[in-house]
């Protein structure tokens, strides 16, 4: 039985790589070369890792039992300025699809080009706003022209590289727009929105890509020439709103993203498997994990509003590309069971029967083979179900019986041991302290209102003014004052952070919280007789990426008010003053992060660097840690800023921002509907409460020089921190306990009850054994009784 299935899979896999394929569909499945197929896919966003990481990530996905890789396409990464394109490095999209092809996998191309994705502006370039008459994602010529130009460019690139299935390439599905149904609802099904979504479908179909076009979350007003798909934590109760199209799940949210100030989200392995099994129990046939590898990287343009630099997502492959157990292994086992039943699932006659409230048995029958699913959706009760024997089905779980007699898989019974991530010093000994040099950010030019690029008697919106070419925008003004006076300065801003300088002195610094971007800064302002200068530096931490008309969500000191209020109540309103504007910091314009010669770094080898000094650049050199393990830099002690290694952006850092303490940090029960998007009281399985939202920052190996040449780390610290505690570490993955299949080594609440040594097959990733008794004793002594 098993060997027949293995053979069958090999033949199908070979068919997937060789030559041109046709892709069609019917009400059950995608039909590739005339055969209905089950698609098990995982999202990997190419810019969130490096080209050097891609083959390993893709191959791990394949070994995890997937046959398809999915990605969005990131417009503002590819076209940062109008008609100036970037397809290099981690934006080399054709290379990414070639890697998928080389691995013998299928691909799903989700062009959008609006992608949401917790990505700056949802992937739309900020320069779009400068085009007259522009309305994002509605029926208007300026938007549609730009969208069509970019979509055509991507399609043509893929065609030139023969990446579509009909050309012998891996792409079997393409997506246009993204979750627009939700936006139409927010716009009350406005006519312009309806015209737009139909235009999108027609424009896409004109591209002649030879594979079906999909639209996710388009449950209403669905154009006739696209397939509607589901996104969510669960999609078993969702059905496509048309006959003749298969049930597809484009985003199975396997975890969740993190914002500054929030702890880590975890979706349990049991519940993740439950959702997948339920989907296939209820006639699903195409499923994609969002994310399979979330990745790192958020440079300025890649992070969404207030998102951490890590986009780990609790995915089966962690931020660094390491296998996260037991999630990876448990889902792999599930994939293998599902694929072993492929023919019966996509052809079988479907019969569902209830065995009591929330207990469902589904039987697929095809010829003389039948496969069964038994689901128990009760939250608190295990049940015995009789089906060719009696089977205990735990609460909130699904059992799969490939012969309708024996249970091959239960979603709540994990046989894969867990892994833990260990951050190790980069050398065997504690690393030698790094030698730092430093340089102040040149603020002086901005401490008067003389050097701006233009003036206006108005407080302007930040994105319009800066074009998002920098996180920072200066608002500078001056006023005459008679005699000395002590005032309170009030500035209202829509976020995300603000620094106030009065006559060259920093008087106040404040930032938004993750739930509320608008705030008021209040600080002391001492005026002297004569001319006084007020300079306000506004900063963004990623732009809004979601919602109807999200391009109208403002940033910066839009309209203020900005005023000075004296103790006697006298108020000086500066809102309509003459404000002078400048985008970006001096150090950004001079590209200090590239470490060009001629910069006046101070204090090298003198051991004196100022700490807790705002607006300071720091530089150090370091040796690349030996080995192949992922490298991180621990930035504990720093406050907020940005980091670069050898000129490569590591993204924004903010280790001073601790995650909130929440009830959900102390409770985790998989037997319930998971919801990370819900209100706080509903959250569970959180970790890292009270700790920095992000302390470790990924340094991809390809950023490092290997031949013993020194590497350079440059930090821009804007709020004042201590770089002397920074250190490089490598990330090791350790297995906590290794259970032989079926054995339950772990005791209650994840306490290690015993340590065993297993040869050969403890989860497919683990090979070999442990040879000496001493090792076993050491592990036993160190581990038993611990969590
Ligand atoms: C649709 O919404 C857009 C954006 O709010 C608006 O400009 C337009 O007038 C609306 N059209 C209709 C027909 O309501
Ligand atoms: C799809 O949904 C819409 C809105 O709920 C409904 O009007 C329409 O009848 C549905 N179509 C099908 C084929 O189910
Ligand atoms: C579906 O299964 C139930 C329970 O086993 C059975 O009574 C019924 O006849 C089946 N229906 C069909 C159409 O096979
Ligand atoms: C069955 O499931 C539904 C939907 O989740 C839930 O509302 C209901 O309370 C469940 N019934 C029982 C007996 O648990
Ligand atoms: C299921 O059946 C087994 C064996 O008959 C029995 O020991 C167990 O208590 C039953 N469990 C439940 C939840 O009914
Ligand atoms: C009110 O207070 C301001 C600031 O201290 C001072 O400059 C001003 O002269 C005061 N006005 C009156 C009428 O006292
Ligand atoms: C400015 O912020 C304060 C404090 O949040 C608020 O009370 C006030 O209404 C705001 N003013 C305006 C004009 O928004
Ligand atoms: C730091 O500088 C001191 C003094 O020049 C030197 O002895 C030491 O090796 C340096 N450390 C590193 C890590 O470069
Ligand atoms: C770690 C990483 O991949 N960083 C990248 C983030 O994105 C920017 C802009 O595309 C790249 O320059 C970085 O290399």
Report pLDDT for 680: 77
Minimum mean pLDDT range among 160-174, 382-396, 593-607: 593-607
Higher pLDDT, 607 or 480: 480
418 versus 442: the higher-pLDDT residue is: 442
The torsion angles phi and psi of 749, rounded to 5 degrees, stand at: 50, 35
**Lookup: tokens for 350:** 């479907």
* In a domain? residue 261: yes
Same domain? For 71 and 214 the reply is yes
Give percent of the chain with pLDDT exceeding 90.
Answer: 82
Residue ranges making up the domain that contains 169: 2-344
Answer whether residue 758 shows pLDDT above 60: no
**Averaged pLDDT, 428-434:** 64
**386 close to ligand 3 (CB < 6 Angstrom):** no
Q: Please, which pLDDT band fits residue 320 given cuts at 50, 70 and 90?
A: very high
| Res. 763 pLDDT band, cuts 50 70 90 | very low
Give the number of whichever ligand sits closest to the CA of residue 381: 5
**Strands, DSSP E only, in 265-368?**
284-293, 349-354, 359-366
Q: Does the beta carbon of 152 lie inside 6 Å of ligand 3? A: no
Answer yes or no: do 230 and 290 share one domain.
yes
Report CA(636)–ligand 8 centroid distance (Å).
Answer: 21
Residue 685 lies in a domain: no
Residue 192 Cα to ligand 1 midpoint, Å, equals 6
In the reported structure, the alpha carbon of residue 622 is separated from the centroid of ligand 8 by a whole-number distance in angstroms of: 10
Which residue is closest in CA terms to ligand 3's atom 3?
A: 353
Which residues are catalytic, by number? 179, 251
Digit-coded pLDDT (tens) for 611-625:
999 999 999 999 999
Q: Using pLDDT thresholds of 50, 70 and 90, give the confidence band for residue 515.
A: confident
Q: Are residues 221 and 201 in the same domain?
A: yes
CB of 187 within 6 A of ligand 1: the answer is yes
Q: Look at the chain and report how many structural domains it folds into.
A: 5
pLDDT confidence band for 734 (50 / 70 / 90): confident
Helix axes 93-102, 141-160, angle to 10 degrees: 40
Ligand lying closest to the C-alpha of residue 362: 3
Q: How far apart are CA 638 and CA 31, in angstroms?
A: 54
| 728 & 627 share domain | yes
Conformational region of residue 210, where left means phi above 0, alpha means psi within -120 to 50, and beta covers everything else: left
> Distance from the CA of 378 to the center of ligand 4, in angstroms?
6
Which mutation among 185, 217, 218, 220 tests ligand 2's pocket best, with the greatest number of atoms within 8 A of CB? 220
User: Confidence band (pLDDT; 50, 70, 90) for 707?
Assistant: confident
Selection from 754, 761, 759 nearest residue 779 by Cα: 754
Ligand 6 surroundings by CB, under 6 angstroms: 485-487, 566-568, 570
Q: What atom in ligand 5 is closest to the CA of residue 392? A: 1
For the cut 60, the answer to whether the pLDDT of residue 774 exceeds it is no
pTM for the whole structure: 0.91
Burial class (CB in 10 A: 0-12, 13-18, 19+), 170: buried
Q: Which mutation among 494, 520, 571, 576 tests ligand 7's pocket best, with the greatest number of atoms within 8 A of CB?
A: 520
Mean pLDDT of 760-778: 45
- Is 664 domain-assigned? no
Model confidence at 767: pLDDT above 70: no
Given a cut of 60, whether residue 431 has pLDDT beyond it is no
pLDDT confidence of residue 741: 38
Shared-domain flag, residues 388 and 259? no
Q: Same domain, yes or no, for 630 and 567?
A: no
**Percent share of the chain, pLDDT over 70:** 89
The position carrying tokens 């010669």 is: 597
Question: Would residue 330 count as lying in a domain?
Answer: yes
> Which ligand gives the minimal distance to the CA of 384?
5
Does the pLDDT value for residue 590 go beyond 90?
yes
pLDDT at 760: 36
* Residue 304, pLDDT score: 61
Tens digits of residue pLDDT in 68-125: 999 999 999 999 999 999 999 999 999 999 999 999 999 999 999 999 999 999 999 9
Q: pLDDT band at 779, cuts 50/70/90?
A: low
Which ligand number lies closest to the CA of residue 550?
1
pLDDT band at 768 (very low <50, low <70, confident <90, very high): very low
573 C-alpha to ligand 6 centroid (Å): 14
Q: Which atom of ligand 8 is nearest to the CA of 432?
A: 13
Is 744 close to ligand 8, i.e. is its CB under 6 Å away? no
Q: Is residue 676 part of a domain?
A: no
310 lines ligand 9 (CB under 6 A): no
- Taking each continuous run of H as one helix and of E as one strand, the counts in the chain are 13, 37
- Does position 725 have pLDDT exceeding 80, yes or no? yes
Ligand lying closest to the C-alpha of residue 348: 3
Decide which of 290, 324, 344 is a domain's last residue.
Answer: 344
> 352 C-alpha vs ligand 3 centroid, how far in Å?
8
- pLDDT, tens digit, 9 for 90 and up, residues 157-173: 999 999 999 999 999 99
Q: Is there a domain that residue 279 lies in?
A: yes
Q: What are phi and psi of 10, to 5 degrees?
A: -60, -40
Residues 649 and 635 in one domain: yes
Distance from residue 447's CA to the centre of ligand 6 (Å): 25
Q: Which atom of ligand 2 is nearest to the CA of 219?
A: 2
Q: Which among 314, 585, 306 has a CA at the least distance from the CA of 472?
A: 585
Ligand 4 atom closest to the CA of 379, numbered from 1: 14
CA of 596 to the centre of ligand 9 (A): 19
Are residue 309 and residue 458 in the same domain, yes or no? Answer: no
Residue 704's CATH number: 2.60.120.260
Q: Pairing relation of β-strands 369-376 and 359-366?
A: antiparallel
User: Which protein residues are within 6 Å of ligand 7, measured from CB?
Assistant: 492, 520, 561
Measured CA to CA, the distance from residue 155 to residue 161 in angstroms comes to 10
Residue nearest to atom 4 of ligand 1 (CA): 549
Q: Rounded mean pLDDT of the chain?
A: 90
Q: What span, in angstroms and rounded, lies between the C-alpha atoms of 561 and 120?
A: 27
Over residues 328-342, the pLDDT tens digits come to 999 999 999 999 999
Of 584, 611, 644, the residue at which a domain comes to its end is: 584
- Ligand nearest to the Cα of 487, by number: 6
Q: Which residue has the higher pLDDT, 769 or 536?
A: 536
Q: Is residue 598 part of a domain?
A: yes
Same domain, 248 and 380: no
Comparing C-alpha atoms, which of 564, 582, 562, 561 is closest to residue 572? 564
* Over residues 690-709, mean pLDDT: 94
Q: Is the CB of 377 under 6 A from ligand 4?
A: yes
- Kindly state if the Cβ of 354 falls inside 6 Å of ligand 3: no
Instruction: Please work out whether the CB of residue 278 comes within 6 Å of at least one atom of ligand 4.
Output: no
User: For the ranges 95-104, 480-489, 714-723, 736-745, which has the lowest average pLDDT?
Assistant: 736-745
If we measure between CA atoms, which residue out of 458, 429, 440 comes closest to residue 506?
Answer: 440
Pocket test for ligand 4, best of 357, 396, 674 (most atoms within 8 A of CB): 357
Tell me: the pLDDT tens digits for 556-569? Answer: 999 999 999 999 99
Is the distance from the beta carbon of residue 297 to the nearest atom of ligand 9 less than 6 Å?
A: yes
605 lines ligand 8 (CB under 6 A): yes
357 and 425 in a single domain? The answer is no
Instruction: State the Cα–Cα distance between residues 345 and 36, nearest whole angstrom.
Output: 10
**Where residue 643 falls among pLDDT bands split at 50, 70, 90?**
very high
10 Å Cβ neighbour count for 121? Answer: 26
Contact 259, 303 (CB under 8 A): no
Assess whether pLDDT exceeds 50 at residue 747.
no
Q: Distance from the CA of 752 to the center of ligand 5, in angstroms?
A: 26
Q: What is the CATH number of the domain that holds 136?
A: 3.20.20.80
Q: Which of 538, 560, 584 is where one domain is finished?
A: 584
Q: Is residue 217 part of a domain?
A: yes
Pair 430, 409 in one domain: no
Strand order in the sheet with 23-25: 23-25, 30-32, 35-37
Q: Are 51 and 88 in contact (CB under 8 A)?
A: no
Does 519 lie in the same domain as 394? no
């Amino acid at each position: 039985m098993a060997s027949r299935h293995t053979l069958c899979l090999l033949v199908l896999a070979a068919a997937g790589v060789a030559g041109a394929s046709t892709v069609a569909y019917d009400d059950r499945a995608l039909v590739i070369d005339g055969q209905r197929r089950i698609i098990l896919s995982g999202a990997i966003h190419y810019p969130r890792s490096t080209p050097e990481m891609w083959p390993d990530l893709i191959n791990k996905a394949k070994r995890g039992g997937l046959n398809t890789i999915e990605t969005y396409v990131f417009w503002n990464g590819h076209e940062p300025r109008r008609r100036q394109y970037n397809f290099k490095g981690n934006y080399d999209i054709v290379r990414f699809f070639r890697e998928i092809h080389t691995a013998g996998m299928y691909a799903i191309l989700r062009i959008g080009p609006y992608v949401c994705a917790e990505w700056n502006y949802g992937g739309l370039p900020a320069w779009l706003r400068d085009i007259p008459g522009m309305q994002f994602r509605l029926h208007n010529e300026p938007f549609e022209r730009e969208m069509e130009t970019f979509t055509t460019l991507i399609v043509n690139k893929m065609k030139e590289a023969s990446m579509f299935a009909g050309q012998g390439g891996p792409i079997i599905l393409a997506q246009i727009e993204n979750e627009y149904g939700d936006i139409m609802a927010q716009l009350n099904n406005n006519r312009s929105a309806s015209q737009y979504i139909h235009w999108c479908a027609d424009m896409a179909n004109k591209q002649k890509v030879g594979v079906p076009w999909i639209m996710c979350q388009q449950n209403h007003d669905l154009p006739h020439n696209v397939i509607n798909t589901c996104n969510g934590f669960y999609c078993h109760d969702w059905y496509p709103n048309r006959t003749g199209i298969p049930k597809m799940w484009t985003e199975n949210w396997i975890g969740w993203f993190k914002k500054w100030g929030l702890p880590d989200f975890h979706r349990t392995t049991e519940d993740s498997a439950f959702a997948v099994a339920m989907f296939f129990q209820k006639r699903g046939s195409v499923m994609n994990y969002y994310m399979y590898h979330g990745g790192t990287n958020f440079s300025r343009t890649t992070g969404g509003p207030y998102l951490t630099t890590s986009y780990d997502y609790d995915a089966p492959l962690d931020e660094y590309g390491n296998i996260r157990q037991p999630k990876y292994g448990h889902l792999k086992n599930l994939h293998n069971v599902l694929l072993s039943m492929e023919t019966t699932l996509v052809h079988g006659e479907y019969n569902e029967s209830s065995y009591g409230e929330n207990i469902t048995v589904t039987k697929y029958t095809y010829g003389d083979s039948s496969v069964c699913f038994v689901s128990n959706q009760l939250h608190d009760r295990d049940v015995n179900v009789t089906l060719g024997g009696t089977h205990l089905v735990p609460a909130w779980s699904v059992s799969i019986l490939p012969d309708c007699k024996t249970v091959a898989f239960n979603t709540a019974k994990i046989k894969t041991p867990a892994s833990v991530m260990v951050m190790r010093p980069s050398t065997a000994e504690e690393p030698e302290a790094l030698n730092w040099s430093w340089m102040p950010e040149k603020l002086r030019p901005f401490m008067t209102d003389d050097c701006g690029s233009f003036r206006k008697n108005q407080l302007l919106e930040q994105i319009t003014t800066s074009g998002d070419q920098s996180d920072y925008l200066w608002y500078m003004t001056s006023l005459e004052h008679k005699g000395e006076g002590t005032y309170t300065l009030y500035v209202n801003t829509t976020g995300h952070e603000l620094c106030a300088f009065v006559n060259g002195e920093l008087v106040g610094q404040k930032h938004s919280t993750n739930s509320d971007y608008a705030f008021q800064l209040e600080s002391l302002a001492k005026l002297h007789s004569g001319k006084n200068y007020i300079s306000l530096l506004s900063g963004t931490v990623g732009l809004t990426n979601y919602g109807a008309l999200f391009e109208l969500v403002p940033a910066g000191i839009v309209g203020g008010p900005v005023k000075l209020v004296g103790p006697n109540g006298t108020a000086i309103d500066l809102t309509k003053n003459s404000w002078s504007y400048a985008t970006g910091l001096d150090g950004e314009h001079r590209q200090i992060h590239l470490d060009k010669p001629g910069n006046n770094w101070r204090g090298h080898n003198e051991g004196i660097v100022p700490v807790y000094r705002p607006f300071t650049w720091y530089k150090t050199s370091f040796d690349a840690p030996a080995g192949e393990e992922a490298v991180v830099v621990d930035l504990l002690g720093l406050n907020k800023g940005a980091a670069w290694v050898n000129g490569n952006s590591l993204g924004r850092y903010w280790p001073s921002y601790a995650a909130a303490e929440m009830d959900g940090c102390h409770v985790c029960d998989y037997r319930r509907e998971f919801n990370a998007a819900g209100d706080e009281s509903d959250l569970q399985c959180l970790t890292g409460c009270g700790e920095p939202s992000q302390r470790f920052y990924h340094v991809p190996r390809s950023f490092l020089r290997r031949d013993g040449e020194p590497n350079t780390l440059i930090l821009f610290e804007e709020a004042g921190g201590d770089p002397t505690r920074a250190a490089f570490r490598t990330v090791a993955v350790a297995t906590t306990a290794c259970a032989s299949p079926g054995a339950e080594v772990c005791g209650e609440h994840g306490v290690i009850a015993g340590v065993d040594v297993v040869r050969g097959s403890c989860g497919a990733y683990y090979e070999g054994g442990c040879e000496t008794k001493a090792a076993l004793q050491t592990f036993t002594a160190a581990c038993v009784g611990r969590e």
